[in-house]
Amino acid sequence: MNNVQCTVIIPAAGKGKRMKHDKSKQYIEIDGKPILAYTIDAFEKCDEIQNIILVVGKEEVDYCRKEIVEKYKFQKIIAILEGGKERQDSVYEGIKKVPEDSDIVLIHDGARPFVGAEQIKQTIDNGIRYGACVLGVKVKDTIKVVDDDNNIVDTPNRNNLWAIQTPQTFKKELITLAYQKAQNDNYCATDDSMLVEKYLDIKIKMVEGIYSNIKITTTEDLVIAKNFIHQ
Ligand SMILES: Nc1ccn([C@@H]2O[C@H](COP(=O)(O)OP(=O)(O)OP(=O)(O)O)[C@@H](O)[C@H]2O)c(=O)n1
Ligand SMILES: C[C@](O)(CO)[C@H](O)COP(=O)(O)O
Tell me the three state secondary structure of residue 146.
Answer: strand
Inform me whether the pLDDT recorded for 78 exceeds 70. yes
Going by alpha carbons, the residue nearest to atom 18 of ligand 1 is 16
Give residue 2 CA to ligand 1 midpoint distance, Å: 34
pLDDT of residue 76: 98
How much is the average pLDDT of 18-33? 96
pLDDT of residue 185: 97
Which numbered ligand comes closest to the C-alpha of 137? Answer: 2
Q: What percent of the chain has pLDDT over 70?
A: 99
Residue type at 113 in one-letter notation: P
Task: Please say whether the beta carbons of 51 and 40 come within 8 A.
Answer: no
Q: What percent of the chain has pLDDT over 90?
A: 97
pLDDT of residue 1: 58
pLDDT of residue 231: 82
Inform me whether the pLDDT recorded for 201 exceeds 90. yes
- The answer for 109, left when phi > 0, alpha when psi is -120 to 50, beta otherwise, is beta
Inform me whether the pLDDT recorded for 2 exceeds 70. no
Give residue 104 CA to ligand 1 midpoint distance, Å: 23
Inform me whether the pLDDT recorded for 184 exceeds 70. yes
How much is the average pLDDT of 37-55? 98
The CA distance from 99 to 108, in Å, is: 17
Task: Please say whether the beta carbons of 41 and 72 come within 8 A.
Answer: yes
pLDDT of residue 202: 96
pLDDT of residue 42: 98
| Helix H or strand E segment including 195 | helix 193-199
For residue 134, the ligand 2 atom closest to its alpha carbon is 4
pLDDT of residue 193: 98
> What do you get for the CA distance between the two ends of the chain, in Å?
37
Ligand 1 mutation pick, 19, 54, 109, 216, max ligand atoms within 8 A of CB = 109
The CA distance from 196 to 202, in Å, is: 8
Ligand 2 mutation pick, 39, 86, 87, 217, max ligand atoms within 8 A of CB = 87
The CA distance from 74 to 115, in Å, is: 17
Mean pLDDT of the chain: 97
Task: Please say whether the beta carbons of 43 and 37 come within 8 A.
Answer: no
The ipTM assigned to this model is: 0.97
Give residue 88 CA to ligand 1 midpoint distance, Å: 9
C-alpha pair distances (Å), 184 with each of 79, 114, 179, 199: 24, 34, 8, 12
The CA distance from 149 to 56, in Å, is: 38
Ligand 2, CB cutoff 6 Å, lining residues: 87, 109, 164-166, 190-191, 215
The CA distance from 24 to 123, in Å, is: 28
For residue 39, the ligand 1 atom closest to its alpha carbon is 24
Give residue 15 CA to ligand 1 midpoint distance, Å: 6
pLDDT in tens, 84-139: 999 999 999 999 999 999 999 999 999 999 999 999 999 999 999 999 999 999 99
Inform me whether the pLDDT recorded for 45 exceeds 80. yes
